[in-house]
Amino acid sequence: MANPNDTFTKLCDHARQTGLLTSTIGILNWDEETYLPRDGRAHRAEQTALLAGMVHQRQTAAEVGGWLAELKESPLAADPHSTEGCVIRQLGRQYDKKTKLPQKLVEELTRTASLAQQAWVDARKADDFTAFQPWLERTIDLKQQEAAAVGVTDVAYDALLDDYEPGESTANVAQVLSGLREQLTPLVEQIVESKHKAPREILSRSYPVDKQAEFGKQAAAAIGFDFNAGRLDVTAHPFCGGGGPRDVRLTTRYDANEFAGGFFSILHEAGHGIYEQGLPADQFGLPTGEAVSLGIHESQSRMWENLVGRSRAYWEHTLPELQGAFESARGVGLDEFYFAVNDSRPSLIRTESDEATYNLHIIVRFELEQALLSGDLPAADLPSAWNEKYQQYLGVTPPSSADGAMQDVHWSAGLYGYFPTYALGNLYAAQFFDQAEADLGDLDDHFRRGEFTPLRDWLRRNIHQHGQRYSAAELVERVTGKPLSHEPLMRRLRAKFAELYDLP
């Protein structure tokens, strides 16, 4: 019998090399979105497909299975939160999931996702849901097969959610989100009825792009993103990517006549980036050096974007700097500016929605995709079901499927179970933020003085440094002493918007 320590070393070396390939794909993807010449795309697709294939082969290699089988029975696996326990558990999960999926199904999922996305682009442009419907049906069928293949026969959605929010259950998410929805819908109704309107025009003045880039970079650095280990570039859609623990790449987009889009995307992506930079670099390639879940990742971006960046205290510190950089912002009062960046109104498009309404957009999708997967909702009925829920939760009805059920890429790309992680991010963020305030004192006092390091370091200590030692649910309990709840977020939203909109 091999010494389990030797086997563990082999497993880790193997995973680290796989991580080098994964992070190389990260650079290729970033490059594709930023600087790749137009005609280089076909070749790039071949490069990434080859590397992705190598990564998959390595992750499902028989020798990995052998090492894991041996290690699971060894004393190294005893403590699930130790380095060894975490690595064995998480690589074991990955190996089991990936080896359970038949190669043929994986290829069919990839192929269909590619074709369905193209069909979605065309159908959306033509506002023709019936052209997209067969692709939606095919994708749902494949995702049901995927859930069955990994052994989930009860609630298919559980298997898919697990890819993004490992260990979380559909039932639990449903319970928390319906608690949120019950309180959020009346709040949004009150906002709609308020006579007060945010002076949004302030943000639509002239904001030269080069100054936005400079100002945004300073803002990201101020909240603790390390530009010696990262960058900021321009892409069509903002993201946080890159190629390794000390090479984190943010992107945003600028509009010379709109300040908020580019700026808050930077804070958002910087939040993701600070998490990546806070993961222990010596654990690179191992689960102990990787983010817990999409929801936890989103909690970091949302915290910096909304709980910090859309707070009054943040702008108390930052508005004078903004006014130094942009003529358009001069003469604007703090109250006005704070209200402008917190303008709330029910809208049709998720990606353009505000802090208060955003979660309702998510809840619509979360409820509908469960129904699509369980078979309760036939694909043909999706547009009407979508419109009904939008009317019910947000009080608006999309005039078209293009701006309704077809507005997001996710369902054509096979990303089912992904949407709720956005709302979970908001919920985790508020719950963590409450605890940070309890530990650090009034955070507004920090922000007013431009001090963001204490919060960043609190996040490092309590969240980032652990990698995947704890599941999202365990982490929330461990850090805040309570299970996930809608209350911290709801309390914050009510307080903020009641003040801004002078609600009863």
Catalytic machinery residues:
269
If you ran DSSP here, which 8-state letter would residue 327 be given? G
Least gap, CB of 426 to its own copies (angstroms): 30
Flag whether 272 is marked binding.
Answer: yes
Query: Whole-angstrom Cα distance, residue 246 to residue 268?
Result: 19
Structure tokens at 408: 């997001």
Q: CA–CA separation, 282 vs 426, rounded Å?
A: 29
Going by C-beta distance under 8 Å and a sequence separation of 6 or more, which residues neighbour residue 193? none
3-state SS class at 131: helix
- Residue 268 among known ligand-binding residues: yes
| Interatomic CA distance for residues 253 and 275, integer angstroms | 21
User: Least separation, in Å, of the C-beta of 49 and its own copies?
Assistant: 9
Contact 385, 136 (CB under 8 A): no
Which residues lie near its own copies (CB under 8 A)? 17, 20-21, 23-24, 27-28, 31, 35-40, 42-44, 46-47, 50-51, 226-231, 233, 243-248, 284
Signed CA dihedral, 482, 485, 490, 493: sign only: positive
Distance CA 224, CA 304 (A): 10
Dmax (CA) for the chain in angstroms is: 76
**Residue 269 in contact with residue 238, Cβ under 8 Å?**
yes
Q: What is the closest distance, in whole angstroms, from the C-beta atom of residue 50 to its own copies in the complex?
A: 5
Instruction: Output the CA torsion sign for 18, 22, 25, 31.
Output: negative
Q: Which are the contacts of 232, defined by CB distance < 8 A and separation ≥ 6?
A: 213, 216, 217, 220, 249, 250, 251, 252, 266
**Would you state the structure tokens that stand for residue 496, as one six-digit string?**
């903020």
Q: Which amino acid is at 43?
A: H
Q: Is the dihedral of CA 70, 75, 77, 82 positive or negative?
A: negative
Nearer to its own copies, 33 or 444 (CB): 33
298 is in an annotated binding site: yes
User: Least distance in Å: CB of 17 to its own copies?
Assistant: 6
Query: Nearer to its own copies by C-beta: 92 or 230?
Result: 230
d(CA 484, CA 296): 12
Per the CB < 8 A criterion, the answer to whether 155 and 466 are in contact is no
Query: At its nearest, how many Å lie between its own copies and the CB of residue 266?
Result: 16
Residues in the chain: 504
Shortest distance, CB of residue 301 to its own copies, whole angstroms? Answer: 20
What minimum distance in Å lies between the beta carbon of 326 and its own copies? 22
Q: What span, in angstroms and rounded, lies between the C-alpha atoms of 126 and 131? A: 9
Cα dihedral sign, 259-260-262-264? positive
Nearer to its own copies, 166 or 245 (CB): 245
The secondary element (H helix, E strand) that includes residue 242 is: strand 240-242
**Binding-site residue set for Zn(2+):** 268, 272, 298
